[in-house]
A = this chain, B = another copy of it.
Amino acid sequence: MADRDTGVEKIEIGDGAAIPVPEDRGLLSAWWIALCGTIGLLIVLPLVKPDPYADILRFVPDGILVTFEVTIASISLALVVGLITGLGRISSNRFFNLLASLYVEVVRGIPLLVQLFYIYFALGRFVRVPDIVAAVIAMAFCYGAYMGEVFRAGIKSIDFGQTEASLSLGFNHRQTMMYGILPQAWRTILPPVGNEFIALLKDTSLVSILAVSDILRRGREYASESFNYFETYTMIALIYLLITLVLSRLISTMEHRLSHYERR
């Protein structure tokens, strides 16, 4: 996110699920309806029409596991990359700064799917890694750039006085970042990180193209054998929806918890 100073209120729409908050009542009731509807369909469809719906439900669970594995591994790596990138983007060292900016600019300019293919095949040339690892590296490489911007904005949102106070106590720059700034920045960073987490979870569906057996891959396999495309994708969509709905709620709860020290 570039800091634009145009004097207009800025709108930025993350690409995670909408995280419901008490203030937005329309969205909150929509959240509840969506959740109940999703769970309802996931229960009713297999009962009413076990073939194929119950079959599909039996077929995909290990895909859910893979999706979570890829998501968690990718986001962890992306957080590390993002932290380094974010620090680079605010660094006064011109070289690191430019390097980080360039990374961000290039990664944001190329579709994730192209990056996935590229890293998958390019990596394959030089090192021999399992495809799931290649997929994780590719996801983290891409999301690292977005995380970098999140960290940068988060760190910049912390009053510079905190840095000065920390330095004047005798902490060096690294310690200041670690004990003084990042623990506070975390709070500003958590909502967008949660957002990116959900976005990443959704984007892991792309690794199915690399034949990683995630939810979508399992669905495609089932569909290509049974030809129940419509039914299969219905269930796949419902499963994703359930996961993101629950996660988005968890994140909004966590966010609330994390800000305990700002309450009077």
Contact = CB atoms under 8 A, between A and B. Distances in A.
A9 interface: yes
A26 interface: yes
A68 interface: no
Interface string A124-152: 01000000000000000000001001100
A51 B10 CA distance: 47
Interface in A2-18: 2-18
Interface residues of A, number: 89
B216 A6 contact: no
A105 B11 contact: no
Interface string A54-73: 00000000000000000000
Contacts of A248: 109
A90 to B, nearest CB: 9
A240 B202 CA distance: 22
Interface of A, helix, strand, loop or mixed by DSSP = helix
Contacts of A205: 111-114
Interface string A20-32: 1101101101110
Contacts of A102: 30, 33-34
A192 B30 contact: no
Nearest to A101: B30
Interface stretch (A166-174, A175-183, A227-235): A227-235
Contacts of A229: 117, 121
Contacts of A150: 11, 13
A47 interface: no
Contact of A26 (B98, B153, B202, B245): B98
A154 B105 contact: no
Contacts of A27: 2, 101, 104-105
Contacts of A111: 202-203, 205, 216, 240
Given A15-B146, A109-B248, A118-B233, 12 more contacts: A1-B18, A3-B23, A4-B23, A8-B157, A14-B14, A17-B108, A26-B98, A26-B101, A106-B241, A111-B216, A113-B205, A209-B209
15 contacts: A1-B18, A2-B19, A11-B157, A11-B189, A12-B195, A13-B14, A15-B199, A17-B108, A20-B105, A26-B101, A106-B241, A108-B244, A110-B241, A111-B205, A118-B237
